Amino acid sequence: MTGINALFLLTGLLLFISVLASTISARLGLPLLLLFLGVGMLAGEDGPGGIVFEDFFIASLIAQAALSVILLDGGLRTRVSSFRVALKPAAVLATWGVVGTAALLGVFATWILDVDWRLGLLLAAIVGSTDAAAVFALLRNSGVRLNERVQATLEIESGANDPMAILLVTALVGTLLEPERASLGGFVWLLVSQLGLGAVLGLAGGWVLARLMARLTLPEGLYALLILSGGTLVFAATNLLNGSGFLAVYLAGVVVGNRRTHATEHVLRVMDGLAWLAQAGMFVVLGLLVTPSHLFEHGLQALAMAVFLMLVARPLAVLIGLAPFRYKRNELAYVSWVGLRGAVPVVLAIVPVVMGVPDSQLLFNVAFAVVLLSLLVQGATVPLAARWLKVEVPPRDEPRDKREVWVGDEAAVDLLEYCVAGGSRAEGRHPDSVADEFPGEDVRCVALVRARRLHPLTAHTRMIPGDSVWFVAPDAIADQIARLFGGTGGELSANASFFGEFVVDPECLAGDLADAYGLSIAEQERRLSVGALMLARLGRAAVVGDRVEIGAFTLTVREMSDRGVITAAGLKCPPFGA
């Protein structure tokens, strides 16, 4: 019992320290995952903790279980609408991107490490894929809002590229251990089974879980357990059938997350905590597994490989893969830069060690060093690069908080919280007067919080800056209500420098807009709506923030529906006298 309790004490202590370390993450500008990794390394045999942990099999088991939870949570938070703009390009990066990156890096690794070309390619294949845990965590907690095309491309790619990486690693390990049994047919079949079974079983499993969550009546705490256990079943069953469990559990999460039920919000809250636990535990264990002193034995070669990967191999693979999809140069640069490496390459590096591949410890140490450098350099610059490359868009006008109160199996009431900003149109008004702005909609104030206390609503109540006001209102108009509460000077002031000074109805004729502002457009374009004109000039699916230049004027996509229809455009005029 003493040994078991000591293990519990050690596990709890490491996770406790990791969570406390997260409080300094933002101050240092370091990715949180890197701090978890650092805690594990400090607790390891070369650190003050002195813990000797060398069980690669147990580490791989823990990491794969954690990754399945992280991918399930990532899928639950991925909107189907993001597939509209990024499915094809992300699929190209998840296949060709991994192969192209591995091929270029493999040649460089063979030369820089002076090893057999198969070993060089194996090392490149290990670090050739982006990591879902790192991408989901850093993009969603970086504090910047990327344009949907860039964010969806990176997230879908990271969630779907594991099958190709696993395929390459498996095939190359086979050529090293049993070269006589390696064949092109076996390679193709492995690819088809990984992708095909992963997609089919993931979608089917997600459909079953979504139906169960909608139809079953369970204690509130059991819904998240239902989804977690169901996702684990999908992951394990797909792996047993030689499919990609990682792809399957991600797609299962996408299906469940996009079918809203009375339990969805609760599941998301619980899964968020479980995903953080999985990330913390996984990176602490991987940190324990590595011996930092061994990393320095090939530190210069690992540094050279990381630089080549970040500045040559990944960018070239992205440029070639996304060439047909008309991405802008700044978007291509950002997608190239945020090719984050994390837990998946480390887990893949464990495979050759467990299989007994010669020089596999060298592969593990170099791959781990590349991951460290990627998290340190690329991970720490995610927000800075977004601003520098201008791929971020201003924060949306949206409620500060949103809750769903389900009053039946198919009926829910939306509770929306707004904070009154100084100079906003809401300041000085009675809360009930907000309903006057939305005739035909059921908008009612249910609570006003002032100085952290519930404030009584009377006929003489007036909203002042800092008030927190709760409304029952349809979610469809949540963002429109937010414009009444935000920013000094009305609804356009906060985003005018980005979207433009005027809001344009995308259904109006482009010819009418041209006549009103003296714009010069072709005769055939005058008969198009403004929205159709923008899509024609863009030549691709639009996202919020896309811009079309018309002479000295700029039309910017301001709002879009979930179906990809432009619902509002901004018009930016040239500076006076320009």
H, E, C per residue of 18-33: HHHHHHHHHHHCCCHH
- pLDDT beyond 90 at 263: no
Phi-psi region for residue 491, left (φ > 0), alpha (ψ -120 to 50) or beta? alpha
Region 310-315 average pLDDT: 94
Tell me the sheet residues that pair with 468: 419, 449
pLDDT at 116 over 50: yes
* Rounded average pLDDT over 491-501: 64
Has residue 527 got a pLDDT over 50?
Answer: yes
What number of other Cβ atoms are within 10 A of residue 261's Cβ?
22
| Predicted confidence band of residue 262 (pLDDT cuts 50, 70, 90) | confident
- Does 409 score more than 70 pLDDT? no
User: Contact 332/339 with Cβ under 8 angstroms?
Assistant: no
DSSP count for the chain of H helices, then E strands = 26, 9
Mean pLDDT for the stretch of residues 206-228: 89
Report yes or no: 90 and 152 within 8 Å, Cβ to Cβ: yes
Query: Would you give the distance in Å from CA 119 to the centre of its chain?
Result: 32
Residue 30 has what pLDDT?
60
405, two tokens: 């109160």
- State residue 357's pLDDT score: 85
Predicted local distance difference test score (pLDDT) of residue 490: 43
Question: According to the per-residue pLDDT averaged within each range, which of 29-33, 400-404, 463-467 is highest?
Answer: 463-467
Give me the mean pLDDT over the 7-16 stretch. Answer: 73
**Residue 401 pLDDT exceeds 80:** yes
The answer, yes or no, to whether residue 491 has pLDDT greater than 60, is: no
Least confident stretch, 11-15, 226-230, 539-543: 11-15
H/E stretch holding 414: strand 412-419
pLDDT band for 25, please (50, 70, 90 cuts). low
pLDDT of residue 489: 46
DSSP labels, 108-126: HHHHHHT--HHHHHHHHHH
- pLDDT value for 286: 86
Between 216 and 101, whose confidence is greater? 101
What is the average pLDDT across 109-125? 90
Cβ neighbours, 10 Å, residue 574 = 10
State how far the Cα of 58 lies from the Cα of 41, in Å rounded to an integer.
Answer: 17
pLDDT for the residue numbered 106: 93
What are the pLDDT digits (tens) for 168-201? 888 888 888 776 666 666 667 777 788 889 999 9
Contact between 533 and 548 under an 8 Å Cβ cutoff? The reply is: yes
pLDDT at 488 exceeding the cut of 60: no
Give the pair of three-digit tokens for residue 466: 């800092």
What's the pLDDT at 249? Answer: 93
The residue that leads in pLDDT, 30 or 551, is 551
Mean pLDDT estimate for the chain: 84
| Poorest-pLDDT segment among 189-193, 444-448, 519-523, 565-569 | 189-193
Sheet holding 553-560, edge to edge: 502-504, 566-572, 553-560, 547-550
Q: Which of 78-87, 180-189, 292-301, 438-447 has the lowest mean pLDDT?
A: 180-189
pLDDT at 468 over 70: yes
Q: Which residue has the higher pLDDT, 30 or 564?
A: 564
pTM: 0.83
The domains of the chain, with CATH numbers, are 52-388 (1.20.1530.20), 401-485 (3.30.70.1450), 496-572 (3.30.465.10)
- CA–CA distance, 294 with 315 (Å, rounded to integer): 29
Residues 107, 532: Cα–Cα separation, whole Å: 47
CA distance 206 to 188: 27
- The alpha carbon dihedral of 468, 472, 476, 480 has a sign of negative
The alpha-carbon radius of gyration of the chain (Å, integer) is: 26
Instruction: Please give the share of the chain, as a percent, with pLDDT higher than 70.
Output: 92
Instruction: Provide mean pLDDT across the span 107-118.
Output: 91
Please, which residues bridge with residue 401 across strands?
417
Contact 472, 444 (CB under 8 A): yes
Q: Is the pLDDT score of 40 beyond 60? A: yes
Assigned token pair, 363:
């592969």
The H or E element spanning position 444 is strand 444-450
Summarize pLDDT for 120-157 with one digit per residue, the tens. Answer: 999 999 998 888 777 877 787 777 788 889 998 998 89
Please, which pLDDT band fits residue 571 given cuts at 50, 70 and 90?
confident
Dihedral (Cα; 79, 85, 86, 88), 10-degree rounding: 120
pLDDT at 492: 45
- pLDDT of 295 higher than 80: no
pLDDT band at residue 464 using 50, 70 and 90 as cut-offs: very high
**Once rounded to an integer, what is the mean pLDDT over residues 311-336?**
93
Average pLDDT over residues 308-324: 94
Q: What pLDDT does 576 receive?
A: 57
Instruction: State residue 2's pLDDT score.
Output: 66
